[in-house]
């Protein structure tokens, strides 16, 4: 039965069930966001067998870029189509409002809730489910970073119409420990996963990353990705994107160095396909919106979608 459903999904794409951009309609979108790694740095690592295998079997890009520094504005960009004018890794809580003096690349002693339309709003309006999972978050909608949990890597915490609505926030922004049960039963249409600071390659050595960072991240992905690929939510027209938020500043004179990007889908090119078109987080957002039948937000409206990763029909 599963094979029949997969074939029907692929047949629907072949018959033109695509967005006007050429992006196919997705049943489910999974996005895993890793941290602070340039593509060249990851390619030079010799202790990432899982990701090396994906590079040979799935699709990657040689020209995917972040849109800002540091981390947080990239997360906001990929979920709203803009950076929210954020210049630091500030707190999602209101607290002291951010200004040029307390919010910059060197300090983040302020709060910066974001008032902007976002993917969660669009999905709710369309009657589609979504969840943002944060590893080691503990209590749902936890706004406070602690241990290896980084609230700044959970973008939906920052939108004021999510964090101010307790019921909405606790329903949609949850600890990653619940993901396996969701995957086995009622997988959300959009799944955004933030591994903890060890598993996302951020720590133990933040800038520049260390070989241990790469191994920790690769080991975690090797455990967590296969269940997604084995799920009916993925196999019946789903897509999985593994993306990094920004480069590792290894090219200090070119701070927008390409960052790693992996795309897996039964609807996509594979077998080591390498996209070369310049794309970024706004391209990812445009593709998610096109694939889920949503209007494009902000800078996604004029972004180049990930069309080259999908066969033309």
- For 241-300, the pLDDT digits (tens) are 999 999 987 665 556 899 999 999 999 999 999 999 999 999 999 999 999 999 999 999
In angstroms, what CA-CA distances link 305 with 120, 181, 283?
Answer: 20, 31, 5
Query: Apex CA 182: angle with CA 57 and CA 18, to 5°?
Result: 55
pLDDT value of position 17: 80
- Domains of the chain listed by start with CATH number: 2-79+115-294 (3.40.720.10)
Given a contact cutoff of 8 angstroms between Cβ atoms, the answer to whether 259 and 64 are in contact is: yes
Tokens of 230: 């084995």
CB-count exposure of residue 21 (10 Å: 0-12, 13-18, 19+): middle
Tokens 């997988």 — which residue? 187
Which residues have a Cβ under 8 Å from the Cβ of 26 and sit 6 or more positions away? 237, 238, 239, 265, 267, 288, 291, 292
Question: What distance lies between CA 139 and its chain's CA centroid?
Answer: 21
pLDDT in tens, 167-188: 999 999 999 999 999 999 999 9
Output the pLDDT for position 7.
42
Contact 280, 73 (CB under 8 A): no
Residue whose C-alpha is closest to residue 288's, from 180, 221, 191, 183? 191
Distance CA 18, CA 24 (A): 4
Task: Tell me the two tokens of residue 4.
Answer: 């029949």
Identity of the highest mean pLDDT range in 9-23, 143-157, 204-218, 246-260: 143-157
Report whether pLDDT(46) > 70: yes
The distance in angstroms from the start CA to the end CA of the chain is 25
Q: What is the pLDDT of residue 95?
A: 84
| Residue 118, token pair as written in the block | 């976002």
Round to whole Å and give the CA distance between 308 and 57. 17
Cis peptide before 142 (omega within 30 of 0): no
How many angstroms separate the CA atoms of 29 and 189, rounded?
Answer: 6
Check if the beta carbon of residue 128 is closer than 8 Å to that of residue 190. Answer: yes
The two structure tokens encoding residue 195: 């591994």
pTM value > 0.95? no
pLDDT at 227 over 50: yes
Residue 163 pLDDT exceeds 90: yes
Task: Please say if the pLDDT value at position 35 is more than 60.
Answer: yes
Strands 190-194 and 130-134: parallel
């Amino acid at each position: 039965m599963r094979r029949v459903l997969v074939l029907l999904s692929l047949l629907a794409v072949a018959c033109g069930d695509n967005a006007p951009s050429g992006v196919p309609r997705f049943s489910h979108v999974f996005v895993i966001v890793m941290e602070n790694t340039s593509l060249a740095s990851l390619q030079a690592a010799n202790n990432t067998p899982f990701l090396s295998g994906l590079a040979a079997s799935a699709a990657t890009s040689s020209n995917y870029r972040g849109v800002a520094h540091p981390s947080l504005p990239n997360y906001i960009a990929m979920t709203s189509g803009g950076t929210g004018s954020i210049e630091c890794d500030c707190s999602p809580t209101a607290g002291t409002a951010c200004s040029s003096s307390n919010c910059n690349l060197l300090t983040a002693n302020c709060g910066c809730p974001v008032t902007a339309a976002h993917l969660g709003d669009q999905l709710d309006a369309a009657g589609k489910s979504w969840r943002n999972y944060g590893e080691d978050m503990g209590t749902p909608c936890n706004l406070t970073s602690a241990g290896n949990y980084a609230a700044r890597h959970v973008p939906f915490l920052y939108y004021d119409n999510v964090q101010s609505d307790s019921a909405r926030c606790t329903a949609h922004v949850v600890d990653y420990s619940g993901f396996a049960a969701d995957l086995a039963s009622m997988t959300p249409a959009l799944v955004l996963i933030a591994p903890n600071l060890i598993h996302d390659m951020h720590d133990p050595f933040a800038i520049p990353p260390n070989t241990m960072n790469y191994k920790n991240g690769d080991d975690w992905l090797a455990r967590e990705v296969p269940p997604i690929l084995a799920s009916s939510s993925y196999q019946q027209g789903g897509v999985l994107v593994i993306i990094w938020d920004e480069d590792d500043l290894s090219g200090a004179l070119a701070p927008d160095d390409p960052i790693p990007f992996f795309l897996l889908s039964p609807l996509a090119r594979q077998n080591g396909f390498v996209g070369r078109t310049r794309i970024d987080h706004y391209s990812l957002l445009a593709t998610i919106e096109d694939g889920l039948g949503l209007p494009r937000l902000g800078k996604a409206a004029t972004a180049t979608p990930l069309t080259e990763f999908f066969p033309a029909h």
